[in-house]
């Protein structure tokens, strides 16, 4: 029986661990290094670190922080934020990052994906698609620069372009569902997963362990990622770092049947 990969997504802003809702209203969570240490003990499948401040402020990655996180992290580590050129990517790889998540630069300089995949391998290149519904018709479009710019590309069009350039994985995130705990946007997942024969990790809106199980059983095997449910507890969103037990994770991520195949 195939199993989905269950990753934790951590957002960094000015060196602090934060959580957003619909790409805004950032709430302070704590020290990212402490969070990584706790997740180590909880046997997380993978950690995705996205530095939203680097992108927002047009800065390069905080290499000192990344080095500290990488030295503490005992699980596969994916990093995104402030990645503009191949030199930055090579430095990140040298610090122990297994995969680089290229977001805004995928749309601004798409050939960076090809250059990166040629040098470090497609398995280490993730193209980030931040998807929103826009306009009266609520059409699906990919946005970049923290959701500020409209690429005018729908998620399937963008995913097909970036995988053709060498991306080995797509990180598919719903802006509208981000941090809402209202569940994943199934329509976006179905559009991309049905047509794209590449690894996809979905993010944005996970409401519960049961919701993760539903997505895995319906669309898996795939990558299933979440933020809020792993750092918050209760309706008042008290900070609590958590992750399912080994037994819970097996039950949540077994892909019994993919209904879209």
Q: Are strands 232-233 and 238-239 parallel, antiparallel or unpaired?
A: antiparallel
Name the token pair of 25: 């209203």
**CA nearest 258: which of 190, 211, 203, 192?**
190
User: Of 45, 62, 130, 178, which is the active-site residue?
Assistant: 130
In angstroms, rounded to a whole number, what is the distance separating the alpha carbons of residues 53 and 36? 19
In angstroms, rounded to a whole number, what is the distance separating the alpha carbons of residues 149 and 103? 12
Q: Are strands 125-134 and 232-233 parallel, antiparallel or unpaired?
A: unpaired
The answer to whether the CB of 171 falls within 8 A of the CB of 188 is: no
User: Is-catalytic flag, 64?
Assistant: no
Alpha carbon 97 to its chain centroid, in Å, reads: 15
Name the token pair of 146: 């923290």
Hey, how many other C-beta atoms are within 10 angstroms of the C-beta on 210? 10
Active-site residue numbers? 130
């Amino acid at each position: 029986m195939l199993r989905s990969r269950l990753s934790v997504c951590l957002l960094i802003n000015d060196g602090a661990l934060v959580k957003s809702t619909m790409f805004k209203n950032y709430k302070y969570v704590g020290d990212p290094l402490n969070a990584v240490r706790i997740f180590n003990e909880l046997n997380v499948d993978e950690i995705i670190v996205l530095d939203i401040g680097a992108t927002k402020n047009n800065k390069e990655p905080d290499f000192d922080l990344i080095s500290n996180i990488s030295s503490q992290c005992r699980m596969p580590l994916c990093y995104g934020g402030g990645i503009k050129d191949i030199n930055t990517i090579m430095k990140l790889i040298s610090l122990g990052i297994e995969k680089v998540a290229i977001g805004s630069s995928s749309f601004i300089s798409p050939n960076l994906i090809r250059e990166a995949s040629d040098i470090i391998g497609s398995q280490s290149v993730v193209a980030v698609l931040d998807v929103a519904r826009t306009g009266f018709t609520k059409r699906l479009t990919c946005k970049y620069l923290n959701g500020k710019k409209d690429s005018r590309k729908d998620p399937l069009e963008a995913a097909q372009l970036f995988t053709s350039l060498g991306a080995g994985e797509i990180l598919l995130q719903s802006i509208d569902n981000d941090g809402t705990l209202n569940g994943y946007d199934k329509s976006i997942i179905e559009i991309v997963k049905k047509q794209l024969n590449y690894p996809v990790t979905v993010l944005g809106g996970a409401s519960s362990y049961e919701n993760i199980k539903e997505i895995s059983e319906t669309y898996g095997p795939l990558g299933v990622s979440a933020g809020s449910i792993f750092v918050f507890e209760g309706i008042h969103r008290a900070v609590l770092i958590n992750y399912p037990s080994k037994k819970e994770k097996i039950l949540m991520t077994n892909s019994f049947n993919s209904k879209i195949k």
